[in-house]
Amino acid sequence: MGWMADESGLGKTDANYVPLTPLSHLRRAALVFPDILAVVYGAHRKTYAEYIDRCTRLAAALVRMGVAPGDVVSTILPNIPAHAEAHFGVPACGAVLNAINTRLDIGTVAYIFDHGGAKVVLVDTQFIPLAEAASQEMGGTAPQIIEVPDAGAGFAATGRYPVYEDVLAGAAPDFQWILPRDEWESLALNYTSGTTGQPKGVVYHHRGAYLMTMGTPISWRMVLHPVFIAIVPLFHCNGWNHTWMMPLLGGTLICCRDITAANIFDAITDEGVTHLGGAPIVLNMLVNAPESERRHFEHTVEVFTAGAPPAPATLAQIEPMGFNVTQVYGLTETYGHVTECIWRSAWNGQDGGTKAAIKARQGVAFPQMEDITVMDSNMARINRDSTAQGEIMIRGNSVMKGYYKNPEATKEAFAGGYFHSGDIAVQHPDSYIQIADRAKDIIISGGENISSVEVEGVLMAHPDVLLAAVVAKPDDTWGEVPCAFVEPKPNTTPTEADLITFSRKVLAGFKAPKKIVFQELPKTATGKIRKFKLRKVAASL
């Protein structure tokens, strides 16, 4: 047995074992970086000393309102300082943070209130009517509302609820944070989009979030004092955990309520933004911004993009503008991004189009993950030949605890010792993963599989196309055929015949869209295309 047989006195103690939690980052930052700018939103400019004071007061106020460890506190907030503060203040009193999508309908918010059992909800004044209507519709006890007005954005307090700043001012500044005794304790409760049936509640633990904050700076090549603009909504995978990460680096968080090209360019030039994350639609917005909204900047801005594979044409256009884009991939169930397309020097000599195509790959596992691979239906690894397809399978520390109050769905998601993503991909000989499609988005036409992602990438290369989404359209002969929904660029008038001819120059005939519909594409708050809505339209054509 060797030395392992004699481990008396080698157990865990308070001196050598501390449960991992991202709360530790802000406590340290308040000591190490007290005068460094932590959060910026217009005239709101708070140092780390001020930031921790506000988070501490929020925790104290929640306890005074009856919130106990393990209780749920919800938010219905855009990316404003109060939402960043909730990410520390809520768990600092031992509660579980439930950041709710501000675009959800009344019935779904009512369901989340009921299912999660929220005791308190922080609500931006813009969304007070939503919170009130959901509270009336829910079956259980409605959460107490703390109103968060934003006068600068045109949302003055209603006067019906306690106001956030008053709540903080009246709270104890010396509240002792309630840190987790076990790093497996629940930190956050996030609900999936729920395109079919009710959304599922995804539970995060302190350990997973902590390790995500440690892995991300390595993958994003971050050094001390980055300036990060929060574009990804904080209700989406808690903003990919970036708010919890920034104190680790003494970084500055720039809050962005309204995601516009002008606001992003202004933040880059005026605040010196060095990093941002966003869906491909954000990259597209920057590429197509009019000259009047653009600002010149000298430094390179590092970008994480995820949510859907970005079109190679978009990547080829944005990098010369001063952005270095890294494709990442993940799900709500994995705290956000868990794979990255790490760039290899051997690719430097490739032409622009080839480089962009490589950058569209989802890549390899983040440092905190144990194994991310592609498997067939028998849980066998597929051939890494860039052709064989299977499902992306994920195993590692930044995987959810499970679905809240849904053991059957949890068991199914973790079958075989991996989290089943539902995403179909190929794997290249160098192990890099590349998504072919969501399982539900694969189009099967005459027995042949067609990747909607591939068709979309071709259409996005057309100079008149702003956005494209491809879904299956029922067909009497072939079973299904590709149907494209296209949002043209302003002041352009592409025709169906033009785009079908254009796509046939690149795609095999059976892959080219058989029908093209021109319209504004329905999108989620994170910029994903709502394909389930488009499928309904295609089915009626």
DSSP for 109-132, please give it: HHHHHHHHTEEEEEEEGGGHHHHH
**pTM exceeding 0.75:** yes
Cα 182 from Cα 537, distance rounded (Å): 49
Residue 352: pLDDT band with limits 50, 70, 90: confident
Query: Do 306 and 242 touch, CB atoms closer than 8 A?
Result: no
Question: How would you class 349 by CB atoms within 10 Å of its CB: exposed for 0-12, middle for 13-18, buried for 19 or more?
Answer: exposed
Q: In the predicted model, is pLDDT for residue 6 greater than 70?
A: no
Lowest mean pLDDT among 168-172, 272-276, 312-316: 312-316
Q: Which of 72-76, 397-401, 443-447, 515-519 has the lowest mean pLDDT?
A: 443-447
pLDDT band of 18, cuts 50, 70, 90: very high
Q: What pLDDT, on a 0 to 100 scale, did the predictor assign at position 447?
A: 62
**Residue 309 binned pLDDT confidence (cut-offs 50, 70, 90):** low
* pLDDT value at 295 more than 70: yes
Q: In a 10 Å sphere around its CB, with 0-12 CB exposed, 13-18 middle and 19+ buried, how is residue 9 labelled?
A: exposed
Counting beta carbons within 10 angstroms of the beta carbon of residue 495, is it exposed (0 to 12), middle (13 to 18) or buried (19 or more)? exposed
pLDDT at 454 over 80: yes
Residues 6+ apart with CB under 8 A from 459: 465, 468, 470, 484, 486, 499, 502, 503, 513
Tell me: the pLDDT tens digits for 110-143?
999 999 999 999 999 999 999 999 999 998 999 9
Note the pLDDT of residue 475.
83
CA-CA distance, 387 to 391, in Å (whole number)? 13
Instruction: Report the residue count for the chain.
Output: 541
Query: How far is residue 50's CA from residue 301's CA, in Å, rounded to a whole number?
Result: 28
Residues 6+ apart with CB under 8 A from 357: 312
From 342-356, 412-426, 524-538, the region with the lowest mean pLDDT: 524-538
Dump the DSSP string for 18-48. Answer: ----THHHHHHHHHHSTTSEEEEETTEEEEH
Using one digit for the tens of pLDDT, what is the confidence trace for 262-280? 999 999 999 999 999 998 8
| pLDDT band, residue 2 (cuts 50/70/90) | low
357 vs 329, higher pLDDT: 329
pLDDT band at 311 (very low <50, low <70, confident <90, very high): confident
Question: What is the CATH architecture of 46-205?
Answer: 3-Layer(aba) Sandwich (3.40)
Residue 194 is predicted with a pLDDT of 55
Mean pLDDT of 416-426: 94
Q: What average pLDDT does the segment 226-250 reach?
A: 97
3-state helix, strand, coil in the chain (%, to 5): 35, 25, 40
Which pLDDT band, with edges at 50, 70 and 90, does 463 fall under?
A: very high
- Mean pLDDT, to the nearest integer, of 201-222? 97
Which band of pLDDT confidence, cut at 50, 70 and 90, is reported for residue 289? very high
pLDDT for 60 equals 98
Report pLDDT for 405: 97
Do 195 and 532 meet the contact criterion of CB atoms below 8 Å apart? yes
The CB density around residue 438, as the number of other CB atoms within 10 Å, is 15
Give the pLDDT score at 432: 97
Query: What is the reported pLDDT for 398?
Result: 97
The encoded tokens of residue 41 equal 């939103």
Q: What are phi and psi of 246, to 5 degrees?
A: -55, -40
So what's the pLDDT on residue 116? 98
What's the confidence (pLDDT) of residue 435? 87
* CATH 3.40.50.12780 in the chain, residue ranges: 46-205, 259-439
- What residue type is 448 in one-letter code? E
Whole-number Cα distances in Å, 381 to 78, 80, 351, 396, 418:
41, 44, 32, 17, 12
Q: Provide the residue type at 242 as one letter.
A: H
Summarize pLDDT for 429-446 with one digit per residue, the tens: 999 999 886 667 778 786
In CATH terms, the fold of domain 259-439 is: Rossmann fold (3.40.50)
Q: Is the pLDDT of residue 184 over 80?
A: yes
CATH assignment, 442-540: 3.30.300.30
pLDDT value of position 480 = 85
Instruction: Using DSSP, state whether 52 is helix, strand or coil.
Output: helix
Residue among 474, 484, 486, 425 at smallest CA distance from 445: 474
Work out the mean pLDDT of the chain and round it to a whole number.
93
For the beta sheet containing 419-427, the strands, ordered from the edge strand earlier in sequence to the opposite edge, are 369-375, 390-396, 419-427, 433-438
pLDDT for position 416: 97
- Give the confidence band of 474 by pLDDT, cuts at 50, 70, 90: confident
The segment(s) of the chain belonging to CATH 3.30.300.30 are 442-540
What average pLDDT does the segment 474-491 reach? Answer: 88
Judge whether residue 448 has pLDDT over 80.
no
Q: Is the pLDDT of residue 326 over 70?
A: yes
- φ and ψ at residue 132, rounded to 5 degrees: -65, -45
- Residues 400-422 have a mean pLDDT of 97
218 has pLDDT over 80:
yes
Q: Looking at 51-55, 105-109, 244-248, 336-340, which range is the least confident one?
A: 105-109
> If you average pLDDT over residues 454-458, what whole number do you get?
88
41, with CB counted inside 10 A (0-12, 13-18, 19+), is buried
Q: Predicted confidence band at 29 (pLDDT cuts at 50, 70, 90)? A: very high
